[in-house]
């Protein structure tokens, strides 16, 4: 409907056709694509944040952290969590601290290397996460409902190509 709304999150400064022909390399198409991608992500993410808060009084970062731990039966080194979640280690300190306080996560110093912390889900954490994850799945399913299986598969594929392009750009200096 209103592609004006694509401006949300970042901008719309090349959305009008005005500036498009001026510059030699304007990247207009790429930017429109980026803005649309951003809009979709923002819409979904905001809704998930809102519902997590509303139904479970929980935040998305905490949910994400539990999600990382769920598959690691024996816990996970903090640094590994940091990499997987793509957030800084400094960020995790406080996050883990709160989850330990609430009894969802345990924290142990590695006996082999006392710099290293191993964190793991407690039974309570596992149960709480399962409940929330089920609802989370329903929310996503609902928001993606109108997308046919074919469209979903196509989108998955195209996003795969985009991801490849981005990663290449990030690993090669310029």
Residue whose pair of structure tokens reads 């889900």 in the numeric block: 121
Interface positions, 71-110, toward DNA (CB under 7 A): 77-79, 82, 86-96, 98
- Residue 122 is a binding residue for a copy of itself (CB under 8 A): no
Residue 82 binding target from DNA, a copy of itself, none, CB below 5 to 8 Å by type:
DNA
8-27 positions binding a copy of itself, by CB under 8 A? 8-14, 16, 23, 25-27
92 binds, among a copy of itself, DNA, none (CB under 5 to 8 A by kind): DNA
Among residues 89, 94, 109, 159, the one that binds a copy of itself under rule CB under 8 A: 159
Site for a copy of itself in 87-116 (CB under 8 A): none
Task: Find all residues with CB under 8 Å of 74, minimum gap 6, and list them.
Answer: 118, 120
Query: On the CB side of 87, how many CA atoms lie within 13 Å of its CA?
Result: 15
Q: Binding mask 54-73 vs a copy of itself (x if CB under 8 A, - otherwise)?
A: ------x--xx--xx-xx--
DSSP secondary structure string for all residues of 43-102: HHHHHHHHHHHHHHS--HHHHHHHHHHHT-TT-EEHHHHHHHHT--HHHHHHHHHHHHHT
Of 116, 118, 120, 133, which lies in the binding site for a copy of itself, with binding defined by CB under 8 A?
Answer: 133
- Helices H, strands E: what count in the chain? 6, 3
């Amino acid at each position: 409907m209103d592609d004006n709304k694509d401006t949300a999150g970042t901008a719309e400064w090349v959305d009008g056709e005005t500036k498009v022909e001026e510059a030699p390399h304007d990247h207009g198409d790429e930017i429109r694509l980026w803005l649309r991608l951003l809009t979709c992500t923002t819409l979904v993410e905001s809704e998930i944040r809102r519902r997590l808060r509303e139904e479970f009084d929980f935040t998305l970062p905490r949910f994400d952290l539990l999600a990382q731990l769920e598959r690691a039966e024996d816990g996970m080194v903090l640094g590994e969590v940091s990499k997987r979640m793509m957030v800084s280690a400094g960020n995790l300190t406080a996050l883990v601290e709160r989850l330990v306080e609430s009894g969802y996560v345990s924290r142990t110093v590695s006996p082999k290397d006392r710099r290293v912390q191993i964190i793991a889900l407690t039974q309570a954490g596992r149960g709480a996460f399962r409940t929330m994850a089920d609802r989370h799945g329903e929310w996503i399913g609902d928001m993606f409902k109108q997308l046919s299986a074919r469209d979903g598969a196509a989108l998955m594929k195209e996003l795969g190509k985009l991801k490849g392009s981005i990663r290449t750009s990030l690993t090669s200096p310029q």
